[in-house]
């Protein structure tokens, strides 16, 4: 951060480029710097490794600080914009559910959390899951995604003991927030699929949609290169972690 921002790191807003509501004149101040910084970070191998795939989001935050554009970023439940199920426990004032986090609900196992190496109760049988990376054609699918309803969550029970994939307990608030997101998502899916069978506007069939959504050879090559570089970074960090453990 200090390499690209001369001021105090605390001045950099803790936000990516979305979701943000801002005036056009403020965006006009930030945008040129954002474009410039994104290009610089892309050429900085050390920064690319540190910031990973969200580096253009860091570029936005640094650009906003350089432009002197302040951001109000109250955390849930006080945020008027965004809540993130299953990380949060209630919608609060938010009007957007950001489903970046995959959710896997499991029943609590009889094995204690400590015995299973988890921070909380040990996760047992899986009862529900949804992850945008697995949805429809998947995160890197090469076909036009058919919108599908998310599988309904199991009914809430006060007797049930549910945990997430990381062992964190799922209380009623967290469950209700997930259920709200699933319900709204499915309402939107039904509305889209009610028109032209869900085929994207301007196209006549799914076959045509699949054809026009095929990535170019250059895109496929670029994606393969990116995945290779990211795998190399992950593997190196794993080797370093093992080295520290054995030291």
* Predicted pLDDT of residue 185: 96
Residues 179-237 have pLDDT tens digits of 999 999 999 999 999 999 999 999 999 999 989 888 888 988 988 888 888 888 888 88
- Beta carbons of 81 and 94 less than 8 angstroms apart: yes
* Distance, CA of 73 to CA of 61 (rounded, Å): 12
- Beta carbons of 11 and 66 less than 8 angstroms apart: no
Which residue blocks in 55-162 are alpha helix, DSSP H?
55-67, 113-116
* Distance, CA of 92 to CA of 81 (rounded, Å): 10
At 83 the three-state DSSP class reads: strand
Residues 98-157 have pLDDT tens digits of 988 899 999 986 554 444 445 455 557 899 999 988 887 666 677 888 899 999 999 999
* Predicted pLDDT of residue 149: 96
* Predicted pLDDT of residue 71: 93
Segment (H or E) for 93:
none
Neighbours of 51 (CB within 10 A): 16
| Higher local confidence (pLDDT), 56 or 136 | 56
Q: Take residue 177 and report the two structure tokens written for it.
A: 């927030």
* Predicted pLDDT of residue 28: 97
Residue 91 has pLDDT above 80, yes or no: yes
- Please classify residue 94 by burial: count the beta carbons closer than 10 Å to its beta carbon, then call 0-12 exposed, 13-18 middle and 19+ buried: buried
Domain ranges of the chain: 9-67, 82-212, 218-247
Segment (H or E) for 1:
none
Q: Take residue 85 and report the two structure tokens written for it.
A: 């199920």
DSSP-assigned states of every residue in 94-112: -SEE-TTS-EEEEEEPSS-
Residues 27-45 have pLDDT tens digits of 999 999 999 999 999 999 8
Residue 26 has pLDDT above 90, yes or no: yes
* Predicted pLDDT of residue 44: 94
At 135 the three-state DSSP class reads: coil
């Amino acid at each position: 951060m200090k390499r690209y921002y001369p001021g105090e790191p605390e001045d950099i807003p803790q936000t990516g480029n979305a979701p943000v509501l801002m005036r056009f004149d403020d965006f006009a101040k930030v945008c040129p710097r954002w474009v410039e910084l994104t290009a610089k970070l892309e050429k900085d191998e050390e920064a690319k490794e540190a910031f990973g795939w969200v580096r253009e989001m860091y570029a936005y935050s640094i650009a906003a600080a350089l432009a002197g554009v302040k951001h109000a970023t109250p955390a849930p439940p006080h945020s008027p914009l965004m809540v993130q199920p299953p990380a949060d426990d209630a919608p609060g004032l938010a009007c957007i559910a950001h489903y970046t986090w995959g959710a896997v609900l499991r029943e609590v196992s009889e094995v204690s959390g400590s015995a299973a190496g988890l921070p909380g109760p040990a996760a047992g049988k899986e009862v529900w899951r949804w992850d945008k990376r697995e949805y429809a054609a998947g995160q890197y699918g090469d076909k036009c995604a058919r919108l599908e309803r998310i599988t309904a969550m199991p009914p809430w029970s006060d007797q049930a003991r549910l945990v997430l994939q990381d062992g964190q307990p799922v209380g009623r608030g967290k469950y209700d927030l997930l259920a709200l997101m699933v319900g709204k998502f499915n309402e939107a899916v039904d509305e889209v699929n009610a028109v032209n069978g869900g085929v994207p506007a301007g196209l006549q069939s799914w076959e045509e949609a699949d054809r026009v959504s095929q990535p170019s050879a250059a895109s496929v090559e670029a994606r393969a290169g990116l995945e290779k570089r990211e795998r190399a970074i992950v593997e190196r960090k794993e080797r370093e972690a093992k080295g520290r453990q054995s030291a």
